[in-house]
A and B are shown apart, each in its own frame.
Chain A
Amino acid sequence: MKTTRRTLIAALGTLLLKPLAAFAAWNEQAFGAKTAADALKTLGASSPAASKDIVIEAPQIAENGAVVPIEVSSNIPGTSSIAVLIEKNPFPLAGRFEFKDGALPYVKLNVKMGETSDVRVIATAGGKHFAASREIKVTIGGCGG
């Protein structure tokens, strides 16, 4: 291929875009939502159906709100994503995990909790949304970290 100004500009553009394209965008709107309901609306999951096939493993009482371990898995066939929301945090949406072929719909993470709150987990399977929640009591809030 002959190097013309046009191909050079195109090549340069590809180079500049590449680091960005390597990662999915960050959903500023959903993460910036101040209520769980607003966050869910932004994610297109306004009225999820309650499901017993979402398993949330977490302590009933977290002494330190700065590090609350939460383990989530979905037994709903075809689960493609899991979102974790902490209802009473200033910004409830804590994370959203997309599972492709080869990954199990499972994640364990540590989160900060400002106060005692329901933790709501939304699993998406075949375009449908399912929810489960669990209350975690927090003795010392952990949003200052």
Chain B
Amino acid sequence: MTTRLTDPGALARHREALVAAGEPSRDAIAVCGGTGCRAQGAMKVFEALQTEVEARGVDRRVNLRATGCHGFCERGPLLLLLPEGVLYQHVQVEDVPEIVEKTVVGGEAVERLFYVDPSTDLQHRKEEKIPFYRRQQRLVLRDNGHLDPTSIDDYIALGGYSALARALEMGPVAVLEEVKRAGLRGRGGGGFPAGVKWEVCRNAPGDLHYVVCNADEGDPGAFMDRSVLEGNPHSVLEGMTIGALAIGARKGHVYVRQEYPLAVQHLTHALEQSGEFGLLGEAILGSDLSFDVQVSRGGGAFVCGEESAMMASLEGCRGVPRRRPPYPAEHGLWGRPTNVNNVETWATVPHIVLRGADWFRSIGTEGSKGTKIFSLVGKVNNTGLVEVPMGISLREIVFGIGGGIPGGKAFKAVQTGGPSGGCLPAEKLDAPVDFDTLLAEGAMMGSGGMIVMDEDTCMVDMAKYFLRFLASESCGNCTSCREGLLRLHELLGDITEGRGTRDTIARVEEIADTVRAASMCALGTTAVNPVLSTLRYFRHEYLAHVDGDRCPAGVCKALISFIIDPELCNGCTLCALRCPQEAIAGEKKLPHTIEQELCIKCGVCKDVCRRDAVLVR
């Protein structure tokens, strides 16, 4: 039943009623429904739970809900028992009967589903004790594992929209001052002070101002925004509404990457609900504020994460960036003053309004306040989403929270900032994560993608990967970017295929200089960060390729060979059977050999060998 909330008092009463009824903390099983867990069968687990709970007649005893991404993706599917906060990991459909029998009916835990810390062999029952979670400071992600993103009541019961009520009380100027004082810097990569941008936009002349949420999260390996949109869409809408109040905007847009259909779905549903409750639309909570939001999808272009290209796309055009100045705050969407902020930035706003700028400033470093969500992925044990205070070291994130490198391999580098960022080596692990420090070290905070690489990663290959990505994502306007990146990719190809010389490296640096200096937008100017940062910190690897015709990490095909160790091979013939080129010869039970002339280095033999007898040289 929808209740249109006609004033902040009505909101408070509605919340009280929900809390009195035990929402949402009454006995609940929260199944993580984030994309990562879904991909591992979480929704099947959820459905199985629903069926089993009904079959056992205990559906009144427990509230089952599917939540947004809970962050510990490596251990999915995840299940959180509320209100206690007990975490079950790697939950399969087969576990469901036991869970219902033991936990729901019997009130006991299924201990074999607890997380066991591999470094201590300690079993952890409660989520808050697990090192992965314990060392985080979850602000924006706090409610992700607790609320049903399709339920506005869950959001309200947990305190949602009380920030908006407070903001309406404070008035636009006070809200803007608070956000300015908090020192909130944009979480999309630019790191520009949000409050300052808001103020410029507010003061720009015009009869219609826009606020926009940039949800075109294009950095490969980054899924922070996705998880916030899928898991807690109301937090973003609340933030945008507060922003609209402060800026004097009446219309808002959320531009979502088309690869995120679930986010679009949850956001659209949340919009409808907010409208029904009087939290969006005309006379919000009975005030003077009227604010409407529209959801638009991107068409599939990384460059549309750049704000001026995004606005071009919103206007129905090719996503080609525009010259700045003029800046969107003064001349943006349809030529009107527009404030663009990232998903995470908007979701942080309600926290600042509710708890104040002083509280926010108590977290983080001098130049970077608050917390930041990172997607910790790649060669790391605890892959997932983490939210940490600014100033924490890379080491603490990768090893303390991330649990270090799998397979006992050596850490090599961590890439931050996506294709616009850089790779930092082991020597930089103690660097504090903060906007300015990362920039000084040749990397960048970026939107939060943090990709861990180990000794088996070739840094030259990584530079080539990013160049290929950017060459195809470039809008193609500027010669320096469009052609520069193509030529750079070719030259990196020369290096990885054994044709490179010292001159190749010199030429790479020369072209990179022009790409950076002469391109119009941030895609072009930052496109050379991966190659330049790897040249800065891993020059020895480039030199091994060009001087020694060697790929130390064993990745670049032209410079490696697959060979079978005759001492380990037991002649099972599996590799020979699977080899697509029929390049493996050998009699049964006798060591096999790979015909190097025929070998295409596809790696299938290494994959199937049960004795680890295939070596890469």
Q: Do A and B come from one complex?
A: no
- B residues at A contact (CB < 8 Å): none
- A residues at B contact (CB < 8 Å): none
